[in-house]
């Protein structure tokens, strides 16, 4: 009886990489756009992306369509897909929306989340985060800020609210980094987060909402003041 041929094995030292899914491509490009590794106005070439992710161009097109729905990419006739540019009025409109929605998230998180969670965050912003700002180490500061923001949205327990905030936040994420490097802004922001977390620790939901809205209003005012340097 003939023996079955043995299954072929990858050559030594070579790792077979699974093709990326549409969701994985979207997530990777979202992160690059938010960090401005792909700047506004940059063209997204289907052939280059297909080669990078090891997928057919049709899968790249699906990913670009998903990014277009999120308002991150624009399809231009005879040019293909390019990263969207935000004009000034759009930026301020988004900040107004963030103020309302993130204020609501802070109130719901205060009502629904355990106070011990906010106590730990408060200790961080009163101690280690203050030291990071004093040393001008803004990358780890921003990472911790974004982690706090995610914790608040998660504790709010409203999936619709979370999806809305996710969509608008990524459009301004690069701006947040630019605002924080302006003179004095990082320390002002840290103090505003301390005030927010104090309200959350005390279980004062309406005050937490007010303080989160005040913080975002302050960031918007800073953006207006220094817009010619960062937009």
Q: What are 36-73's pLDDT values in tens digits?
A: 788 888 899 999 999 999 999 999 999 999 888 877 88
Q: Do 48 and 126 fall within a single domain?
A: no
Number of domains in the chain: 2
Residue 13 lies in a domain: no
What pLDDT, on the 0 to 100 scale, is given for residue 3? Answer: 44
Residue 108 lies in a domain: yes
Residue 5 lies in a domain: no
Q: Do 67 and 100 fall within a single domain?
A: no
Contact 109, 179 (CB under 8 A): no
What pLDDT, on the 0 to 100 scale, is given for residue 8? Answer: 39
What pLDDT, on the 0 to 100 scale, is given for residue 9? Answer: 45
Among 54, 83, 112, the domain boundary falls at: 83
* pTM score, whole prediction: 0.71
Residue 190 lies in a domain: yes
More confident residue, 176 or 20: 20
Q: Do 210 and 112 fall within a single domain?
A: yes
Q: What are 81-128's pLDDT values in tens digits?
A: 998 877 777 888 888 999 999 999 999 999 998 999 999 999 999 999
Residue 10 lies in a domain: no
- pLDDT for residue 15 is more than 80: no
Residue 14 lies in a domain: no
Helix%, strand%, coil% for the chain, nearest 5: 70, 5, 25
- Rounded to the nearest integer, the mean pLDDT of the chain is 86
Q: Do 93 and 79 fall within a single domain?
A: no
Write out the residue range of the structural domain in which residue 45 sits. 22-83
Long-range contacts of 179-183 (CB under 8 A, 24+ apart): 179/219, 179/222, 179/223, 179/226, 179/230, 180/138, 180/141, 180/142, 181/138, 182/222, 182/226, 182/229, 182/230
Q: Do 136 and 157 fall within a single domain?
A: yes
Q: Do 207 and 93 fall within a single domain?
A: yes
Distance, in Å, from the CA atom of 109 to the CA atom of 152, rounded to the nearest integer, reads 6
List the single range of 13-17, 28-32, 101-105 with lowest mean pLDDT: 13-17
């Amino acid at each position: 009886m003939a023996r079955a041929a043995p299954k072929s094995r990858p050559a030594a030292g070579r790792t077979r990489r699974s093709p990326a899914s549409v969701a994985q491509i979207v997530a990777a490009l979202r992160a690059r756009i938010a960090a401005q590794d792909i700047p506004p106005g940059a063209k997204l070439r289907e052939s280059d992306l297909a080669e990078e992710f090891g997928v057919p161009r049709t899968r790249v097109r699906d990913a670009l369509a998903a990014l277009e729905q999120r308002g991150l990419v624009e399809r231009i006739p005879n040019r293909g897909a390019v990263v969207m540019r935000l004009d000034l009025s759009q930026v301020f409109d988004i900040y107004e929306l963030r103020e309302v929605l993130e204020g609501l998230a802070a109130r719901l998180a205060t009502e629904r989340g355990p106070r011990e969670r906010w106590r730990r965050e408060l200790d961080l912003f009163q101690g280690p985060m203050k030291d990071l700002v004093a040393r001008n180490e803004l990358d780890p500061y921003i990472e911790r800020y974004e982690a706090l923001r995610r914790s608040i949205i998660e504790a709010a327990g409203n999936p619709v609210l979370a999806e809305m905030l996710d969509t608008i936040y990524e459009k301004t994420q690069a701006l947040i980094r630019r605002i924080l490097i302006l003179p004095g802004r990082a320390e002002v922001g840290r103090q505003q987060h301390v005030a927010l977390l104090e309200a959350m620790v005390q279980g004062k939901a309406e005050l937490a909402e007010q303080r989160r809205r005040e913080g975002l209003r302050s960031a918007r005012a800073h953006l207006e003041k220094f817009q010619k340097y960062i937009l």
